[in-house]
Structure 1
Amino acid sequence: MATKLKAVFSEEKNPRGIPKAPFIADVEEYLGGPNAEVEGTLKSFQDAIAKYRYMDANLAQRRASLEEKIPDIKKTLDMVEYLQERREGKSKASEDDDLADLDDEDESGSTKPLRTTFELNDTLFAEAEIEESDTVYLWLGANVMLSYKIPEAIALLKSKLSGAEISLNNTVEDLEFLREQLTIMEVNTARVYNWDVKRRRQRREEAARVTAKGRSDE
């Protein structure tokens, strides 16, 4: 049975190593002749379908996780880039085009502290004042937070965003590939089953003809 299961999958694979399901054009030739048994083949097909469905479920979960993660990375990157622009005076430079607008400065001419709100829990927010700093703290997952200089944080976030987007594209591509292979295996299963039903019917009809012929000869 193990040998038969290996024969189900094609040697051809997609770029992530998922095996391709071959389409069975000639069922009788694939099975090995008109008298071949089909129970083992149908079982191996069901095992192959189960493997594809397991991979499909895992990839669907991965896709959902990436689609939730990518917007968070983008928001964090936008915020860190804003802090860098603010620190370098780039955002203020664009405001200087309006010579009358000096609301971002206090009487001493220094830049006002940046005020924002942050989430304490799902329903509670607090106001905070962000001091000028060249360091930010990033959550890396698994309850781990590390400090980075702003340029290092931007480089890290851009790298993570690029990697996540590539991973999402690959996952979507793999899901489409898997669903195509599932369809092929389901068609293969139906073709083998229908071939066996047709063969059984032909055998019954032949047996009936032989019986009827024997009776007529008597």
Structure 2
Amino acid sequence: MSGASDVSSNPRGIPRSPFVERVEDYVSEAEPVEVVLKKFQEAISKYKFMEVNLLQRRKVLEEKIPEIEKTVAMVKLLVEKQDNAEPLHTDFELNDTLYAQAKIEPSGTVYLWLGANVMLEYKFEEAIDLLTSKLDTAQGSLKNTIEDLAFLRDQITTMEVNTARVYNWDVKQRRDRKKESA
């Protein structure tokens, strides 16, 4: 898109949409109204594609953060039980609807699922450090995702306004030409 506006981006590289103040700056012999409108629609489509991906990312993060928080709380509980030298009695989830009773003797270590069917043993302190780091990263990522979604909504709105301005300008130009020829 040509034009007088400065096109920048947000901190994560999503381009800022230009605001069309003067349609004449965008429409020319080289770029007729149809071409400009097509470019604007392509930009809107790209923004909406990014929005869908970010909405999915937000959903995953909103599910992941409480899981990490529960895991941190459980490791801290194990540390507390180890300090008191008492076993932990709990119901252990085997499946969505199947539980077994368990007696856990705190051993100073915990096994964490890292993903891709990988489980590693960590000392309590290491586990808390790792989980806290993952939690901080996930919360930062969620914050950025929410900011990006708000930014994208603004860009989509701006491009929709731009499209309407160019379309209305074109209708007025056609009407003026029709009056002149009549």
Q: Say whether the fold is shared (TM-score over 0.5).
A: yes
Q: Deviations over 1:129-155 (max 9, x none)?
A: 101201101111222211111110000
* Structure 2: tracts of 5 or more residues without a match: none
**2: CA distance, partners of 1:156 / 1:36:** 55
Q: Which residue of 1 aligns with 2:146?
A: 172
**1: CA distance, partners of 2:115 / 2:94:** 18
Q: Is the 8 A contact 2:61 2:138 kept in 1?
A: yes
Q: Is the 8 A contact 2:81 2:87 kept in 1?
A: no
Report percent identity of matched pairs.
Answer: 60
Q: Is the 8 A contact 2:111 2:122 kept in 1?
A: yes
Q: Is the 8 A contact 1:8 1:45 kept in 2?
A: no
Q: TM-score, normalised by structure 1?
A: 0.78
Q: Is the 8 A contact 1:9 1:20 kept in 2?
A: no
Q: Which residue of 2 aligns with 1:211?
A: none
For residue 36 of structure 1, report the CA deviation from its aligned partner.
Answer: 6.0
Q: Is the 8 A contact 1:113 1:130 kept in 2?
A: yes
* Structure 1: tracts of 5 or more residues without a match: 90-110, 209-218
Q: Does 1:144 align with 2:128?
A: no
Q: Against the structure 1 CA distance between its residues 46 and 82, is the aligned structure 2 distance closer, same or farther, given a 3 Å change threshold?
A: same
How many residues align structurally?
Answer: 182
Runs of 4 or more consecutive aligned structure 1 residues displaced over 2 Å after TM superposition:
6-11
For residue 112 of structure 1, report the CA deviation from its aligned partner.
Answer: 4.2
**2: CA distance, partners of 1:7 / 1:77:** 52
Q: Does 1:50 align with 2:24?
A: no
SS of the equivalent of 1:147 reads strand
Q: Which residue of 2 aligns with 1:63?
A: 58
Larger radius of gyration: 1
Q: Is the 8 A contact 1:119 1:125 kept in 2?
A: yes
**2: CA distance, partners of 1:51 / 1:8:** 22
